[in-house]
Structure 1
Amino acid sequence: MLNPIPNQIDRLDFQKTFSDHQETAVRWRSSTLEERSARLVKLRNWIKENQNLIRKALWEDFRKPEPEVDLSEIFPVTSEINHTLRNLKDWMKPKSVSTPLSMIGTSGKIHFEPKGTALIISPWNFPFNLTVGPLVSALAAGCTAIIKPSELSPATSFLIQKMVKAVFPTNEVEVFLGEVEESQALLRLPFDHIFFTGSPAVGKIVMKAAAEHLSSVTLELGGKSPAIIDASADLNDAAGKLIWGKFVNCGQTCIAPDYILVHESQKERLLMELKVFLQKFYDPAFKGIENSRDYARIIGPKHFERLSDHLEDAISKGATLDFGGKTDKSSFYFEPTILTSISEDMSVFQGEIFGPILPILTFSTIEEAIGMVNSKPKPLALYYFGKESENSEKVVRETSSGNVVLNDCVIHFLHNNLPFGGVNNSGIGKAHGHEGFLAFSNEKGVLTQRIGLNNVTLLRPPYGVKAKQIISTLIKWF
């Protein structure tokens, strides 16, 4: 183990660091493009020079395969930095807005100022990516950041702390390790913006704490992201994409397909194709998936027991085990598992699974599938597979979700020009690229009025006939 998380509960350190960040934030209001870019370049350089340390930490935390670390932890961050560096000059530039006729004589611009001090509370499932990604946006916007990474991925959390100490002074970026008590202590401080990634249940706690100081929030949550497999879908193509999207990171992905809705005419063939790809991806030599170095593990005992309870509950209530089901508590191995004959009273059909269990349900019409999706809280992502544009457009139009992907899944996270985030139960606010920059920025409107006589001077008291006529005209025509 690289280093265990120390028992770190010194509230005085929290307050002192926060006060230092407030002072820095005032100076950073006028930070230049060159200064912000330099911070991002230093961060990128450390990541590139220490990729092996990142890989080792994630293997230690839950045996994440090196290619998955590179693809899902390192690349999204370096890509985010590169995209930001290419576009930051344009993002920071004040934007002129058109002048309505009723405001002739004035000019308006939007200035993007840093919100100030930011708190980033990150999760364990993609602990490097989902910590450093928001940090990139905060630095791009000119904010300082205090980071609280997850205690459930201690090796990666310690490495993030080591990285931050190497790259930034403590009054610019700081990392506090610890558990729930540390998060609660930090949430009592009046941050200007809080960026939280985690479950809806904890998201509500964060939002309640933020309300005490009227801190703005970005909440990246989760939910039951469905995959609709239409009758017209290319099942071979869809199955490969679904198996990778569901079982990468051992299913512990907030945008993984949580359950499949397949047209009843395609169920059996889809099952066959899914099993083919499970074998192809994770057991091509027929030595058992448990021996694959390409399949991660469950993060720890709490989540292993939770998933085991889901599986036991489903089978006890009549679910069919079509694939998998093998587990090993000593190594937190949980085999990729496919279930059919699902009913609404099963726990796998109620809350987000967040693990390698894939329930499959059927539908007869696209309206029925849409109805099933709409009967649940709005998901973080929705996936549709099919060749019928009329049906895909109907799904996009008649459902609500954070994002929609047509004929693929999960990959939208890597698209720097698309806003990423949920809606209502699955999240508040957007992240990545320009949207991430905006999340940590105050869009300040600046209006310039000409000196002397202008439209508004005609509307000052005493309100005579002329003023009343002008007001009446404004209401009628403007």
Structure 2
Amino acid sequence: MMKIAELLQNQRTFFHTGKTKDLAFRLENLAKLKEAIKRYEPDILNALQKDLARHETDAYLTEIGILYEEIKFAQKHLKKWAKPKSVKSGKLVFGAKSEIRYEPYGVGLIIAPWNYPFQLLISPLIGAMAAGNCAILKPSELSPHVSKVVYQMIEGIFPKEYITVVEGGVEISQELLKQPFDHIFYTGGEKVGKMVMKAAAKHLTPVVLELGGKSPTIVDKDADLDLAAKRILWGKFINAGQTCIAPDYVMVQEEVKEVFVRKLQHYLLEFYGEDPLENVRLGKIVNDRHFERLQGYLDEGVILYGGQSDPDSRKIAPTLLDGITWDNSVMKEEIFGPILPILPFVHLKEVIEQVTNQPKPLACYFFSTDNSKQELIVDTISCGGMTINDCVVHISNPNLPFGGVGASGMGSYHGEHGFHCFSHAKSVVYQTNRFDFSFRYPNYKNAARIIRAIFK
């Protein structure tokens, strides 16, 4: 394998040719990427099945279809995004022309996680390419089959000096982070996110961190409980709960808790059958370490439904946990698995207080038909993104930014926000020569009086 430092230098040399800044070049290569994904669809789906036991329907929806939409959106709007934006000039540059130019950072590093190993590698790449960057991609070693397919696909369509893939484990990631990249995009856990930020600080490299956290789901007594149950279960248990924006726990108003739990139980039986471990729509836990961690949670509280597990297949049945408090270990960290704690509440005020006392989550979901309550939650709970009366779907809208806040990350992408994520907004002033303000020079006698008059 080519040395990483040499690979980075080759990309930087190619970037300085200016080819990636050409709009036609960007659009042409976005089209190549889309065609390659279509060509590799069977291989991608097969790899996702091997790594995570992902069913074809779920895999296409969350890993492939969403990328087609994103590429199409970028192709349609890129010319508008890349166009210099004229702005008004200030008083001291009266008569000048001022604008914002969007220029690529240069060479970026994109580090992907294992839970959505294809989508969360290619989605930021779309933004990087649209903005005119070169990029080195680092797939997760915990999804080796997807990593191999990505390597084959990317190496088959792009020259290494433009876009390339570096496979490997922790030692490769550490070596990559030693390099002076122009931009780093990381998706994963908070612990490694801090390491990425620390490494980037040595080179003053800008960083986007897409992390996670305990995303709360709140069910008010006036919610459509039937619809809420179905949508929460879908959002929670897709990919066996291994989704960064999955509902982490449910807080349901006490007077409707019993009815709501019965609906959850009803739909779990309908969705996954009497033997959920045999259901092909239930994915597997990524490795033994995570499986054992999740197994520990099953010993907490009272299991209202599910609880079955199989270490050989690394599958855990969708499970509802009752009798849980904030002191339980299952409430101390992001669950990232098919276990859903249920906590009762009496008044929304206590929900807001409890949620806002926790680190800011990547997502928050609120189910209610009362508009005033909806606005109360939107206004008072800080999070990366929020959906009212549904779960997870806000990630699918390319017009919305996707990203975290506080402990759940920094920076955002998707659509135009992905373009800006990988672009530097450069200020440009074209000063006029038709006249000159003499009062700004040291030898002007009444400079102070005139300047004070201008900036009153």
TM bucket (normalised to shorter chain) is: over 0.9
Letter in 1 for 2:411: G
Mapped pair 1:56 → 2:46: yes
C-alpha distance in 1 between matches for 2:178 and 2:451 = 47
Q: Does the CA contact (< 8 Å) of 2:183 and 2:206 recur in 1?
A: yes
SS in 2 for 1:322: strand
Aligned with residue 470 of structure 1, among 427, 446, 450 = 450
**Residue in structure 1 matched with residue 176 of structure 2 by the alignment:** 186
**Residue in structure 2 matched with residue 442 of structure 1 by the alignment:** 424
Q: Does the CA contact (< 8 Å) of 1:29 and 1:114 recur in 2?
A: no
**Residue in structure 2 matched with residue 99 of structure 1 by the alignment:** 89
C-alpha distance in 2 between matches for 1:361 and 1:34 = 54
SS in 2 for 1:27: coil
**Residue in structure 2 matched with residue 273 of structure 1 by the alignment:** 263
> 1:220: Cα distance to partner?
0.3
SS in 1 for 2:121: helix
SS in 1 for 2:387: strand
**Residue in structure 2 matched with residue 322 of structure 1 by the alignment:** 304
Q: Does the CA contact (< 8 Å) of 1:105 and 1:454 recur in 2?
A: no
Mapped pair 1:298 → 2:285: yes
Q: How does 1:347-366 map to 2 (within 5 A)?
A: 347-366=329-348
C-alpha distance in 2 between matches for 1:471 and 1:162 = 63
C-alpha distance in 2 between matches for 1:453 and 1:306 = 71
C-alpha distance in 2 between matches for 1:329 and 1:30 = 48
**Residue in structure 2 matched with residue 110 of structure 1 by the alignment:** 100
TM-score normalised according to structure 2 size: 0.98
Q: Does the CA contact (< 8 Å) of 1:123 and 1:150 recur in 2?
A: yes
Q: Does the CA contact (< 8 Å) of 2:220 and 2:367 recur in 1?
A: yes
**Residue in structure 1 matched with residue 72 of structure 2 by the alignment:** 82
Q: How does 1:325-340 map to 2 (within 5 A)?
A: 325-340=307-322
1:201-238 deviation line (CA, Å, top 9, x unaligned): 11111001010001111100000000111111000010
> 1:428: Cα distance to partner?
0.5
C-alpha distance in 2 between matches for 1:214 and 1:154 = 31
SS in 2 for 1:118: strand
Letter in 1 for 2:99: K
> 1:302: Cα distance to partner?
1.2
> 1:101: Cα distance to partner?
4.0
> 1:70: Cα distance to partner?
0.6
**Residue in structure 2 matched with residue 375 of structure 1 by the alignment:** 357
SS in 2 for 1:50: helix
SS in 1 for 2:164: strand
Letter in 1 for 2:365: Y
Letter in 1 for 2:433: I
C-alpha distance in 1 between matches for 2:199 and 2:120 = 21
C-alpha distance in 2 between matches for 1:402 and 1:220 = 10
C-alpha distance in 2 between matches for 1:164 and 1:459 = 55
> 1:28: Cα distance to partner?
3.3
Mapped pair 1:224 → 2:214: yes
1:98-151 deviation line (CA, Å, top 9, x unaligned): 223443211111111110000000000000000011111111111011011101
Mapped pair 1:69 → 2:50: no
Runs of 4+ residues over 4 Å off in structure 1: none
C-alpha distance in 2 between matches for 1:459 and 1:226 = 56
**Residue in structure 2 matched with residue 461 of structure 1 by the alignment:** 442
C-alpha distance in 1 between matches for 2:199 and 2:310 = 39
C-alpha distance in 1 between matches for 2:111 and 2:17 = 24
> 1:310: Cα distance to partner?
2.3
Q: Does the CA contact (< 8 Å) of 1:29 and 1:113 recur in 2?
A: no
C-alpha distance in 2 between matches for 1:306 and 1:291 = 22
1:315-360 deviation line (CA, Å, top 9, x unaligned): xxxx111011111101101111110111222111111001111001
**Residue in structure 2 matched with residue 289 of structure 1 by the alignment:** 276
C-alpha distance in 1 between matches for 2:454 and 2:219 = 53
TM-score normalised according to structure 1 size: 0.94
Q: Does the CA contact (< 8 Å) of 2:40 and 2:153 recur in 1?
A: no
C-alpha distance in 1 between matches for 2:163 and 2:361 = 32
**Residue in structure 1 matched with residue 379 of structure 2 by the alignment:** 397
**Percent of residue pairs identical:** 43
Mapped pair 1:212 → 2:198: no
1:49-71 deviation line (CA, Å, top 9, x unaligned): 22111110000001100001110
Q: Does the CA contact (< 8 Å) of 2:20 and 2:134 recur in 1?
A: no
C-alpha distance in 1 between matches for 2:345 and 2:17 = 58
Q: Does the CA contact (< 8 Å) of 1:121 and 1:131 recur in 2?
A: yes
**Residue in structure 2 matched with residue 42 of structure 1 by the alignment:** 32
> 1:475: Cα distance to partner?
3.4
Letter in 2 for 1:321: I
C-alpha distance in 2 between matches for 1:28 and 1:241 = 47
Structure 2, unaligned runs of 5 or more = none
> 1:194: Cα distance to partner?
0.3
C-alpha distance in 1 between matches for 2:90 and 2:21 = 32
Q: Does the CA contact (< 8 Å) of 1:282 and 1:292 recur in 2?
A: yes
> 1:30: Cα distance to partner?
6.3
**Residue in structure 2 matched with residue 410 of structure 1 by the alignment:** 392
Letter in 2 for 1:343: T
Letter in 2 for 1:66: E
Mapped pair 1:264 → 2:246: no
Letter in 2 for 1:202: V
C-alpha distance in 2 between matches for 1:438 and 1:60 = 35
SS in 2 for 1:436: helix
**Residue in structure 2 matched with residue 25 of structure 1 by the alignment:** 15
C-alpha distance in 2 between matches for 1:38 and 1:146 = 19
> 1:191: Cα distance to partner?
0.4
RMSD: 1.2
